[in-house]
Structure 1
Amino acid sequence: MTAASSAVRHRVVVTQRFFDAATRDHLQAHGCEVVEAELPPGQADADLDEPRLRELLDGAAGWIVGHARVTDTLLAGLPHLRVIARRGVGYERVDLAAVRRHGMVATIAAGGNDACVADHALALMLAVSRRLREGQRRLEADSWAIPLGNDLYRKTVGVVGLGRIGRGVVQRLRGFECRILVHSPHVDAGWAEAQGVEAVPMDALLAQSDVVTLHAPLTTETRFLIDAPAIARMQPSAILVNTARGGLVEDRHLLQALEAGRLQGAGLDVFVSEADAGYADVTRALVARADVVASPHAGASTHEGLNRTNRIAAECVLAVLQDRSPPAACLIADGRAAAGTPLTTRRQA
């Protein structure tokens, strides 16, 4: 038995699905007792209420979480919890101020799912452009009539948001010899010139793009970034792709535009209804359309991508439990300094 495996064991609870055996073994080899929540098929940790989450997390020092809401009231009832590691990169469901107030640490799995989400965005662009869903529907109806699609080759693509995923999309689009427009508050003119892309205002991107693909975070400023006025600026032949966050697009307005023939189609991996049940009927109507290719928030869900994000989340948990700092790119809230004493001493007292 190694020194690490014989050390005091920390309880680490995983509430996200698809946690791989190698990462579980890695945590166990480094002094952790790993408990995976047993969720019914089709259920995610976002569906769990606070009493159930509190029950699952009782006595846990680490929590590897998917999309559950991390609230002040939840954390207040978990005195042993030291680290919340999101197996993903979005953190709009995590109350960062509460994490700091309770002397805890919150992290994301930065760099783990960039490649698979960027791949997924290209897949949706191609599927909608080539009308693959319509073609399969016709074959299922014993019709070999060909739905005429469009190339992605040498089209103008507007990329909104230039984080790791947005830049990955830019890299992939070069292989299609696309003209690439970018819009981001963080875009550097020198970088844009070196990459052969054009940094433009949002209105220009919407007006000129054959495809608009969204890779921005969901904030108060970006909520419903694509609404009826924004869609009105787009070309009727344009395609909208959203693999970022439900809430960047006003799905009711998108549905109305598609029904009116104001857009060629949409590729959607995320929906407003994920956070607002009042949009459930809108999601159903969008998913039913032949000009929409949809997936169930699956852009980051490949075997390889989930294994990478599992491992990054696990390493963040171990860093905190071993009184080290997680990688800077992963750290989103650190309440240890505010606590005034070492976290291990304070929370184990």
Structure 2
Amino acid sequence: MSMKSKSVVVTPKFFDEATIRFLEKSDLSVTVPDFPEGKNDATATEAELIAVLSEADAWIVGHSTVTLSLLRSLPRLKAIARRGVGYEKIDLKAAVETGKVVTIAVGGNEESVADRTLALMLSAAHRIRESQQQLIDGTGTILIGNDLYAKTVGVIGLGRIARNVIRRLKAFDTTLLATTPRPDHAYGKSMGVEYVGLEELLQRSDFVSLHAPFKPETRHLINADRLAMMKKDSFLINTGRGGLVDDRALLSALKEGRLGGAGLDVFESEVDPGLIEITKELVRLPNVVATPHSAASTHEGLRRTNAVAAKCVVSVLNGDTPPEDCLVVGG
């Protein structure tokens, strides 16, 4: 048994040794539990989570659902550090009620997600998936794709990831549109971004890229009516959150030829498992390029987010305030 006075439990996969050493050098005992076969921190039951967290002072969490009943069962726990920036699976009211500090790993994965966003744009437009399938099938038929170069790209939401996407898109000589609740006009002028309303953005864009947070008011931000506003040969890219798009409506638009294609890293079935069959239909379409919510999952991106989460844990357990932009509640 470790003689260190405080402990941290790390439940996400792919937690690197360098960050574990950092935590240990900060005088913390580190536990990386083995879940039962076929389970991970997203699918583990509340009882399984309680079993591994009962003596933890801090928890570095991946995709677990964090509820009031879970937190009430963990009186020793002080800090919950999300490896990532989305915290919709954490009941923040419950965290406040039970006196926990919740942090996110701001700045860790934005470059990786921005890279994936451009990869999906280019893959969908250039019909990479369809072209490879032609080679697999032995036909080698040449399919005519579309350029990203000199096109109009509409960005919905203007946080860190979106700004990194915009920085990359400048190299493609794109016309850049953005819609956001709080336009930063100095930024827009410096980057050549035109602020427009959502409907105008949808009507003018050749590519629409989603980077808005998922909230009750942004659920189905892209619905059947708004899909109908988009150009028939345009592409919808979602590396934001499942639920921003009505995936059933998107499936209909794609099957009926009302969109050029889509690049998707997130799906509505992540928040509504009853829609898993819709997800399966979407990813089978030849003009859909899809990845399993893995845009942040690069070796480099995971090392960065691991490090930020670890620093947040050390700050909280040492009685310090974590970085302001990483602190969600508590402190």
TM-score (normalizing by structure 2): 0.97
Are residue 281 (structure 1) and residue 277 (structure 2) matched? yes
Match of 2:116 in 1: 120
Name the SS of the counterpart of 1:46 in structure 2.
coil
Are residue 10 (structure 1) and residue 6 (structure 2) matched? yes
Match of 1:347 in 2: none
Match of 1:173 in 2: 169
Residue by residue over 1:205-247, the C-alpha shift from the partner in whole angstroms, topping out at 9 and shown as x without a partner, is 0000000000010001110101100100000100000001000
Q: Residues 79-90 of structure 1: matches in 2 within 5 Å?
A: 79-90=75-86
Q: CA deviation at 1:110?
A: 0.2
Residue by residue over 1:63-111, the C-alpha shift from the partner in whole angstroms, topping out at 9 and shown as x without a partner, is 0001111111110000100000000001111111111111110000000
CA contact (8 A) 2:35 2:44 kept: no
Q: Residues 140-179 of structure 1: matches in 2 within 5 Å?
A: 140-179=136-175
Name the SS of the counterpart of 2:218 in structure 1.
coil
CA 179–237 in structure 1, closer or farther in 2 if over 3 Å, else same: same
CA 44–161 in structure 1, closer or farther in 2 if over 3 Å, else same: farther
The separation in 2 between residues aligned to 1:44 and 1:165, in whole angstroms, is 27
CA contact (8 A) 2:83 2:104 kept: yes
Q: CA deviation at 1:186?
A: 2.0
The separation in 1 between residues aligned to 2:75 and 2:36, in whole angstroms, is 28
Q: CA deviation at 1:39?
A: 3.9
Q: Residues 60-99 of structure 1: matches in 2 within 5 Å?
A: 60-99=56-95
Identity across the alignment (%): 50
Match of 2:34 in 1: 38
1:21 to 17, 21, 33: 17
CA 74–239 in structure 1, closer or farther in 2 if over 3 Å, else same: same
The separation in 1 between residues aligned to 2:116 and 2:3, in whole angstroms, is 42
Name the SS of the counterpart of 1:248 in structure 2.
coil
Q: Residues 1-349 of structure 1: matches in 2 within 5 Å?
A: 8-39=4-35, 43-334=39-330, 336=331
The separation in 2 between residues aligned to 1:289 and 1:207, in whole angstroms, is 24
The separation in 1 between residues aligned to 2:34 and 2:117, in whole angstroms, is 31
The separation in 2 between residues aligned to 1:256 and 1:39, in whole angstroms, is 39
Residue by residue over 1:295-340, the C-alpha shift from the partner in whole angstroms, topping out at 9 and shown as x without a partner, is 0101000000000000000000000110000000100001x5xxxx
The separation in 2 between residues aligned to 1:132 and 1:163, in whole angstroms, is 29
Residue by residue over 1:178-219, the C-alpha shift from the partner in whole angstroms, topping out at 9 and shown as x without a partner, is 000001112222321222110000000000000000001000
TM-score (normalizing by structure 1): 0.92
Q: CA deviation at 1:11?
A: 1.5
CA contact (8 A) 1:7 1:31 kept: no
Name the SS of the counterpart of 1:51 in structure 2.
helix
The separation in 2 between residues aligned to 1:239 and 1:9, in whole angstroms, is 53
**Long gaps (5+) in structure 2:** none
The separation in 2 between residues aligned to 1:215 and 1:182, in whole angstroms, is 10
CA contact (8 A) 2:237 2:262 kept: yes
The separation in 1 between residues aligned to 2:5 and 2:303, in whole angstroms, is 23
CA 150–42 in structure 1, closer or farther in 2 if over 3 Å, else same: farther
Name the SS of the counterpart of 2:150 in structure 1.
coil
CA 12–159 in structure 1, closer or farther in 2 if over 3 Å, else same: same
Name the SS of the counterpart of 2:321 in structure 1.
coil
RMSD: 1.3
Residue by residue over 1:7-45, the C-alpha shift from the partner in whole angstroms, topping out at 9 and shown as x without a partner, is 843111111110000000110111111111224677431
The separation in 2 between residues aligned to 1:99 and 1:307, in whole angstroms, is 26
CA contact (8 A) 2:110 2:160 kept: yes
The separation in 2 between residues aligned to 1:43 and 1:218, in whole angstroms, is 26
Residue by residue over 1:273-302, the C-alpha shift from the partner in whole angstroms, topping out at 9 and shown as x without a partner, is 112111010010011111000001010000
The separation in 1 between residues aligned to 2:74 and 2:273, in whole angstroms, is 28
Q: CA deviation at 1:51?
A: 1.1
**Long gaps (5+) in structure 1:** 1-5, 337-349
